Amino acid sequence: MKVSETILGQAHGKDVVAYTLTNPNGISLTAMTYGATITELMMPDKNGKSENVILAMDSLDDYVKHRPYYGATIGRIAGRIAKGSFDLDGTRHQLIVNEEENQLHGGPAGLDTHVWDAEIEASADEASIHFTTTDADGANGYPGTLSVTVSYTLTAENEWKINYRATTDQPTLFNPTNHVYFNLSGDINKPILQHELQLNSAVFAELGDGNLPTGALLPAEGTPFDFRDGGKLAIAAEQSHPQTQKVAGFDHPFLLQHDTGKPDAVLSDAESGRSVKMYTDQDCVVIFMHNGAIDKYTIAGSPVIQYAGITLETQALPDAINQEGFGDIVLRPGEVYSAETIYKFEVQA
């Protein structure tokens, strides 16, 4: 497995390094130490043409300036925390809020804004980038010093494996994700509405004010949220349901069934022949369809179009600390947080 590296520039006074892992099948993964962010996933289409199938900015400075979250490691908490506050062991904690009265994606100095350290591990069959960072006690309002490792592994079987490990010296919260956007056409100016999604989920979380979960877990049966038998993403963009109307598509958490031996999700693009199978040990996947402009920026000289990409953000249910029955995202001293998500890339002629 081939490994190369390059220095992209500096952020927070530290060099930002990008590493490229290339497997024998012409698939390569590039990720940088700023935000432990994946910036390129090159793969061939059915005619052998290799293109980047994820959204990426033109430069490191654009990632820092616009914070698009593209491909970034999100934490301590992915998604929103209502009013940026929660009770933990009888103490009320107030986080730094960065989206009106709520906290989004770990706050203004979330893990995606860190310059992580990195180590490479490579063998004939796979190569890994082990990113590490420490989030100081009180950062963005969170208690405890959190030590995090995120490992990206590219295998000879065309898998991108993401493994998270974390420890803390005080009880705190941790629910990370990766915010990669896929566009399997390889063309950022082609909306993903003709992509096919097959999703093993029968339940989704209703969104209320501020795109926070209301706490209601709704059946997908008979709604545009039921992709168990597969369907084109255009179905979600038709906005035929109050919840798809609310956000012009999906921005929703889907509870995963984890059917034995089946991927949790399959995203495919018939025109290119490319597909990605998703497997995870997480309860849910948040699917966001880039429904509107995130900030005012261009990529390759053009503004980013609506539906330019789709995220498959595996995680615990958002705002779980404030919602009964949404799962436990508390990490305590002596515990080791671990989670794995695998994206497996395939091409059909």
CA distance 10 to 7: 8
Please say which residue, 22 or 322, places its beta carbon nearer to ligand G6D: 322
Residue among 169, 164, 140, 133 nearest 332 (CA): 169
Within the chain, residue ranges assigned H as helices are 60-66, 234-237, 242-247
CA distance 331 to 132: 18
Please say which residue, 19 or 182, places its beta carbon nearer to ligand G6D: 182
Query: Min. distance of Cβ 197 from ligand G6D in angstroms?
Result: 17
Q: Is 313 a catalytic site residue? A: yes
Within 48-123, residue ranges assigned H as helices are 60-66
Query: Min. distance of Cβ 207 from ligand G6D in angstroms?
Result: 9
Question: Using CB under 6 A, which residues numbered 289 to 318 contact ligand G6D?
Answer: 294
* β-bridge pairing 177-178 and 73-74: antiparallel
Annotated catalytic residue within 130, 179, 252, 290: 179
- Cross-strand bridge partners of residue 255: 203, 284
Question: Using CB under 6 A, which residues numbered 58 to 97 contact ligand G6D?
Answer: 69
Please say which residue, 99 or 137, places its beta carbon nearer to ligand G6D: 99
Annotated catalytic residue within 130, 159, 290, 313: 313
Compose the 158-197 pattern: x for residues touching ligand G6D by CB under 6 A, - for all others: ----------------------------------------
Please say which residue, 211 or 257, places its beta carbon nearer to ligand G6D: 211
| Helix (H) or strand (E) run with residue 243 in it | helix 242-247
Query: Min. distance of Cβ 310 from ligand G6D in angstroms?
Result: 12
Handedness of CA 291, 96, 212, 200 (dihedral sign): positive
Compose the 216-245 pattern: x for residues touching ligand G6D by CB under 6 A, - for all others: ------------------------------
Query: Min. distance of Cβ 335 from ligand G6D in angstroms?
Result: 27
Q: Does residue 288 interact with ligand G6D by CB under 6 A?
A: yes
Question: Among all chains, which residue has been given the structure tokens 């130490």?
Answer: 33
Please say which residue, 182 or 288, places its beta carbon nearer to ligand G6D: 288
Query: Min. distance of Cβ 69 from ligand G6D in angstroms?
Result: 5
Task: Pull the structure tokens for residue 102.
Answer: 């709520």
Handedness of CA 133, 139, 145, 150 (dihedral sign): negative
Please say which residue, 1 or 97, places its beta carbon nearer to ligand G6D: 97
Task: Pull the structure tokens for residue 75.
Answer: 């934490």
Q: Does residue 251 interact with ligand G6D by CB under 6 A?
A: yes
Overall size of the chain counted in residues: 349
Asked whether 155 and 186 are in contact (CB, 8 A), the reply is no
Size of the residue set binding ligand G6D (CB under 6 A): 5
Q: Does residue 98 interact with ligand G6D by CB under 6 A?
A: no
Task: Pull the structure tokens for residue 302.
Answer: 């053009």
- What does DSSP assign to residue 247? H
Please say which residue, 194 or 211, places its beta carbon nearer to ligand G6D: 211
Query: Min. distance of Cβ 220 from ligand G6D in angstroms?
Result: 19
**How many angstroms separate the Cα of 138 from the Cα of each of 47, 142, 158?**
51, 5, 39
Query: Min. distance of Cβ 288 from ligand G6D in angstroms?
Result: 5
Handedness of CA 339, 95, 65, 185 (dihedral sign): positive
Q: Helix %, strand %, coil % for the chain, to 5?
A: 10, 45, 45
Instruction: Examine residue 76 and say whether the peptide bond preceding it is cis (omega within 30 degrees of 0).
Output: yes
Question: Among all chains, which residue has been given the structure tokens 């969104």?
Answer: 207
Identified binder of ligand G6D from the candidate list 22, 145, 211, 239, rule CB under 6 A: 211
**Contact residues for ligand G6D, defined by CB under 6 A:** 69, 211, 251, 288, 294
| Residues designated catalytic | 179, 313
